[in-house]
Amino acid sequence: MQAQCLQCFRPLQLCTGASVLLNAGTGGGYTYQWKKNGAVITGATTSSFTASTSGIYTVLITVPGGCNAVSAPIVVTVNPSPVVIPSVSISGNPGFILCVTTRPDTFTASSGGGGFAPAYQWYVNGAAAGTGITYNYTPANGDVVKCVLTSDDACAFPVTAVATDTVLVSGMHAPSVSIAAGSSAVCTGDSVTYSAVALYGGSAPSFLWTQNGVAVATGPYYRYPPSNGDVLRCSMLSNFPCATTSAATSAPFTVSVQPVIPNDINIYVSQAGIATGTVDTFVAVAPYAGSSPVYQWRINGAPVPGATTATYITSTLINGEVISCDVTSSNPCVFPRTEISSGIVIRVWGVGVKNVTNGPTRFELIPNPNKGEFTISGTLNNAADEGVNIQVTDVLGQVVYTGATNAANGKLEAKITLGNSLANGVYLVSIINGGDHEVFHMVLEK
């Protein structure tokens, strides 16, 4: 038998860094041993071998039964020249963005590592369209232009390179620029990133930022700690080919900065002393809680499952338990984000023992039950003209009415009318005036 090189994937004249795959004949049970310049190549015992250095290569093939044969020699020569990696790019004249659809465009290839006589093949939307270093035609919007370079450099690897670009056919447009803030709410001391939002700015627009009329930065972004009332502007120079003008300036952007507010929460109870099994109602007042706060009521510091609204109603308290509430504010400028109220110690007596309160009720709600219209009257601790807030919640803690009125010389007389959509049932009416606070149970019966 005679062994031979069946297929070589690269020429046997190699450049530094290149290699050639030598393949021997195959058969069932064959074993192989490759040699270079007559010496065994350790580990080279498969039907193929990749050669990357100069030398004379042979392979010894042994077939079942012990018969063997040596292939004809293959001479591999590695030249001192390094491997060249071809590259190609394409440019358009007037460019890849055209303002007139009937105007032809000339595309030109620029290559590296192409050798003395590189070959160029042009494609439009995947179809072969022309050859040569340039290609000229009238493109349509969205055309994909591709150029394939085939290098004739002896050391090119791989031998081809590809460049692709997409043509945009555009009408004439006026560039514009606007300012976008990196944060919807800005608090005192925050550093905020402002971005230039360019329309028809081209591939390389330039920007200039001014703050209160003073130039402060260039580039598409400006970051700084703003003050309330700062006025920002951004000017842009566009290089969009189809621009009606090169310059654009944003509308003035007035910065609103909110002060940092300390979080605060106070809780009130309808009865500080109750009989065993009696319903008690707790209300949390957090003036800076924001539009979507999160509450968590606690008993002796442990969270109460499900007690996550501004009102907590329970009938299972034990004498001496301490009730408190956390509020996590949704206002971004409140600090700390979560605040804990002080605790209220509850006194609970056995069934039948009279409730004990901190003092007589100073307000009355008439009539009760009612059909959604009632009057609250009474006297404040402070005999002055002051504002009073009134809030009505359902048993789930959802606020169904809020209102404000004035007490003249400490005398309160407020007529409340609830909406017609409320269902019959028990509601809590809170009267709040600074540190003054009382809660009524009110029955709605239409």
Is 273 domain-assigned? yes
CB 5, CB 22: distance < 8 Å: yes
Instruction: Among 82, 116, 140, identify where a domain stops.
Output: 82
- C-alpha angle with apex 123: 120 to 126, nearest 5 degrees? 140
pLDDT at 356 (0 to 100): 31
pLDDT, tens digit (0-9, with 9 covering 90-100), for 207-245: 999 999 999 999 999 999 999 999 999 999 999 988 999
Is 57 domain-assigned? yes
d(CA 179, CA 194): 7
Enclosing domain of residue 233: 176-258
Q: How far is CA 390 from the centre of its chain?
A: 41
Whose CA is closest to 253, among 225, 226, 286? 226
SS3 assignment, position 312:
strand
d(CA 4, CA 246): 70
Pair (336, 414) in one structural domain: no
d(CA 158, CA 18): 10
Pair (330, 398) in one structural domain: no
d(CA 36, CA 51): 9
Pair (341, 418) in one structural domain: no
pLDDT, tens digit (0-9, with 9 covering 90-100), for 173-197: 999 999 999 888 899 999 999 999 9
pLDDT, tens digit (0-9, with 9 covering 90-100), for 81-106: 778 899 999 998 888 888 876 678 89
pLDDT at 118 (0 to 100): 94
Is 66 domain-assigned? yes
d(CA 367, CA 373): 8
| Tokens 């979560």 found at | 338
Residue 92 is part of a domain; what is its CATH number? 2.60.40.10
pLDDT at 93 (0 to 100): 87
How long a stretch of residues is the chain?
446
Pair (207, 270) in one structural domain: no
Confidence class for position 360, pLDDT limits 50, 70, 90: very low
Is 54 domain-assigned? yes
Whole-number Cα distances in Å, 76 to 11, 22, 48, 55, 127: 9, 10, 15, 5, 39
Whose CA is closest to 24, among 80, 84, 69? 69
d(CA 254, CA 210): 12
Peptide bond into 293 cis (omega under 30): no
d(CA 150, CA 406): 89
Pair (254, 210) in one structural domain: yes
d(CA 405, CA 420): 21
Pair (63, 96) in one structural domain: no
* Counted domains in the chain: 5
Pair (231, 215) in one structural domain: yes
- The pTM for the full model equals 0.51
Residue 139 dihedral angles phi and psi, to the nearest 5°: -80, 165
d(CA 311, CA 397): 5
Is 399 domain-assigned? yes
d(CA 334, CA 211): 27
Peptide bond into 82 cis (omega under 30): no
How many CB atoms are located within 10 Å of the residue 213 CB?
7
Confidence class for position 277, pLDDT limits 50, 70, 90: confident
List, as one string, the DSSP characters of 50-66. EE-S-EEEEEEEE-TTS
β strands within 117-265, DSSP E: 119-124, 127-131, 134-137, 144-150, 160-166, 168-169, 176-181, 186-187, 192-199, 206-211, 214-218, 221-224, 231-237, 247-249, 253-254, 257-258, 261-262
Pair (293, 228) in one structural domain: no
Taking the CA of residue 445 as centre, how many other CA atoms within 13 Å lie in the half-sphere pointing to its CB? 6
Q: Which residue has better confidence, 40 or 424?
A: 40
* Mean pLDDT of the region 311-340: 93
Is 358 domain-assigned? no
Which tokens in the block code for residue 126? 């995947």
